Structure 1
């Protein structure tokens, strides 16, 4: 088994390639320079450092006793390696000189690694890699939180506008106004979770409480009294959305922060977010079929169907939150170490918004979501009343299928995005995915025509990589920015950064919903006419539906093109942060 001994300050150190954490292996306390321990099998070309600095290959003199001592050592080392999964490799004699100042530091495992040797140092206690089980457990709440927020957004227009006759503008206002709470609530939750120290950790208590509250709101939302005025239903929707905004903040901000600090390796972060995104997209498939399932459950009555499906939705959200709390490890140093210094809300915003690369990510995320959501309801109305001639059943069926194509396409794109980001970088991969988003916008013009049928699936499939790249790459890039901040300030502020990132997502969601009603009204849509709209109205709707995607995607690409954080910058920041430990 190949190895290399190095003498330094009276110690014998062994360079070990294994799980990237700092190891200290003191093989022997040497009072005087002696010949290194021999190896029972020495491959050709393995160099040794002998007393006086000379190098030689092969067996070192020392007699049978030294050889037996070396054999015992290598057997013990092999047993330990099998127990901990540590791989030991031969190292060129002149590569990576050891650092010895009372301890020895070692390179992590990898092939000509892009990640720096001290990648795990800034996040003390955070592993560089995470097994499949913990990754799935962490991603379980991504399924739940997406189901919680979209169980309302996906059904609100169909139930409150088309069934309960609330104006589409008022529906958009009711869904968007509660998001003003997030302007203050998200940073408060993020800062509180950064400072919390408890026996259960600093993120998990929030995740559990948020999941239970979101489940309760998602269930109670559809049990409104019958035979009331549209104004009453408007306020019911507005108050229910406000309650969901509070529960969602308590859940999503600490949950996202847990993912930012869960692993320390530059590329492993993308892998973790990829697993999370697969489960998020699986929830998206369920969301696309909610309208159809509610319609079937209620026998065509959306109100009755919503009341039958709501308890199932709420129970799923609570159960998945419990899985994340139970099975996801939380970094011990973060959960039980010293609390971050308390800062004011204004100062917290100033710190995070002072990172211009982070601001670029937030704005690009808003634009990418807007490229879909601002015009999503316009596309739904085109699907039902223009493509399918006013048939709600056929339109709901096709909505489920083209939504499934988008979510399934996103799931299939995740492994390619993760691999491509390792080869060409996160920034270039994100730009490529945004380009596909624009191509999907062009396809909308040609596919949303009367009698299009299954052609409605093509734009969704083309846009899928661009939307899933937001969920995979932007959180991974945010974790890199957290390392830069930690190198300069000495404090880990994942909670605050994720609070701003989550707030940007909510701004995109609520702003898109708010604008979607106005956009639909601006095209000349009249609810009472339904499929009998004028040709000019349908033409304006198609222009907005296709052109809006192109404009938003182009602006997002321009922002990402100016992003400047590279692996070398992150490596230098992690090395500086390691000196603070």
Structure 2
């Protein structure tokens, strides 16, 4: 395949990469911490499991509305600080503050008050986080116009993002340890303050130091105002239709939906298999093995997988790198059958280097490829560029798929006969669960490869698109 030398003007300085990586850490840290803390709604704050499920689902429906709207707003904003950066700074501050307030509940509150308090702040946090995440993702797509530099930027940022996954698994251990916090509620309340403070400090960095496209050169932007509200709404729907008419983008969304949500569907199964298959239901004996499994997965992804993925993409192209890395992950999933061995717990770490190629390659490559898709959209549909809209739709597909995966995980547990009230699970149940833990992510990964098989934005095609755009409207 063709290889092009990255122009000096298209290279992203280390300082900007670091600032964007800090933002990616926040992008991962807030939702992963939210997921862990939500478990303690039941055990720490006494919320009924069904009510807790409802409280977790409602904000996802709000996401479906706010994400595309925020994408449209940030694409069309006119500001001396650019289209994205003001929202990133304000959104980081709001996200952190509202996250902390969300978890300052009291277990002695009435059920009704707890429900409405948590629901209200959940919805407010969702809006604040959308204000941060949507323009942040859009900014990443436009920091550089170079095919390979985009991959290097995303590889660096995903490396820093993995640090969140190294930290969060230990929240389970800290919150549940009575020698650290007297109650689980106090553990959640206290840790939420540290999460919020760190996310505010790190979250504003890309808004302060990363440079996107010169917004003065973005033409044909919509006028955002209450007077033009109906026109703006129609434009939002028009943009959504245009994104789904982009075949390359639909393939990226489809492949991401399959790989990520296949992985998410079985994510909790490893915990159950470690506890009930390897340690026969003895939580004390299982100890920190589940946390170490998750943490070392993130460490392997950051220090081993992402650099290799970046090299493969620059050497063989992004599509080929995706196919190869996904195939490697399938082999890793198969090795879990031998790795979860009651006679030798250390073998649980054996599949990790290969499994990590799935998620490690996914977002590094997909975010880089979405940036290429934004160029194609401008070529086909003209200005304004719609990085915010593409980012919003892409991550909305991830969120909706994740919600579906969480639901289907419960269905699978029901089908295999898992009894949450039993101290020990049957051999038949654990065998079925172990098979599902391997077959489901392997099958979705193979389907994702089929989806991406004819993805056609190669390095050569990306540079052709870039040249055509620069001839049409100059460099931006």
TM-score under structure 1 length normalisation: 0.74
2:19 is the counterpart of 1:137: yes
Aligned pair partner of 2:200 in 318, 322, 325: 318
Check conservation: 2:91, 2:128, Cα contact below 8 A. Answer: yes
User: 8 Å contact 2:106–2:185 — kept in the other structure?
Assistant: no
Contact 1:176/1:513 (8 A) holds in 2: no
Say if 1:488 and 1:344 are closer, same or farther in 2 by CA, change over 3 A.
Answer: same
Structure 1 residues 555 and 243 mapped into 2: Cα distance closer, same or farther (>3 Å)? farther
State the SS of the aligned residue for 2:280: coil
Matched residue, 2:433: 541
1:463 equivalent in alignment to 2:330:
no
Alignment partner of 1:379: what SS?
A: helix
- Equivalent-residue separation in structure 2 for 1:309 and 1:374 (angstroms): 27
Out of 278, 282, 285, the residue aligned to residue 166 of structure 2 is 285
Other-structure match for 1:16: none
**Distance apart, 1:303 and its partner CA:** 2.0
In the aligned structure 2, how far is the partner of 1:294 from the partner of 1:506?
26
Q: Distance in 1 between matches of 2:256 and 2:165?
A: 18
Q: 1:567 to 1:338 in 2, by over 3 A?
A: same
Q: Secondary structure at the match of 2:420?
A: coil
- The question of 1:264 aligning with 2:145 is answered yes
Residue 494 of structure 1: aligned partner: 387
Distance 1:149 1:470 in 2: 18
Q: 1 or 2 for the larger relative contact order (CA 8 Å, sep ≥6)?
A: 2
Give how far 1:543 is off.
Answer: 2.1
Q: Which has the larger radius of gyration?
A: 1
For the pair 1:425 / 2:312, whether they are aligned, the reply is: no
CA contact (8 A) 1:434 1:557 kept: yes
What is the Cα deviation at residue 382 of structure 1?
2.2
Match of 1:130, SS?
coil
1:358, 1:481 within 8 Å by CA — same for their partners in 2? yes
Structure-2 separation of matches of 1:452 and 1:503: 41
Name 1:197's counterpart in structure 2.
78
Give the match's secondary structure for 2:466.
Answer: helix
1:387 aligns with 2:278: yes
Change beyond 3 A, Cα 1:209–1:478: same
Q: 1:523 to 1:178 in 2, by over 3 A?
A: farther
In structure 2, stretches of 5+ residues that fail to align are 223-231
Q: Distance in 2 between matches of 1:517 and 1:541?
A: 12
More helix by share: 2
Paired with 2:415 and 2:48, the residues of 1 have a C-alpha distance of 14
Question: How far apart, in 1, do the equivalents of 2:42 and 2:283 lie?
Answer: 14
| CA spacing shift, 1:534–1:498, aligned 2, 3 Å | same
Residue in 2 that maps onto 1:98 = none
String of CA shifts for 1:420-471, please: whole Å, max 9, x gaps.
1111111011111111221122122222343542222223332112101112
Distance 1:233 1:438, change over 3 A: farther
Q: Across the two proteins, how many residue pairs are aligned to each other?
A: 460
- Provide the rounded CA distance (Å) in 2 between the counterparts of 1:208 and 1:522: 46
Of stretches 512-521 and 411-420 in structure 1, the one that deviates more from structure 2 is: 512-521
CA distance in 2: counterparts of 1:258 and 1:467, whole angstroms = 22
Cα offset, 1:473, TM superposition = 0.6
Q: Is the 8 A contact 1:210 1:247 kept in 2?
A: yes
Q: Give, in angstroms, the shift of residue 246 of structure 1.
A: 2.1
Q: Give the TM-score, by structure 2 length.
A: 0.89
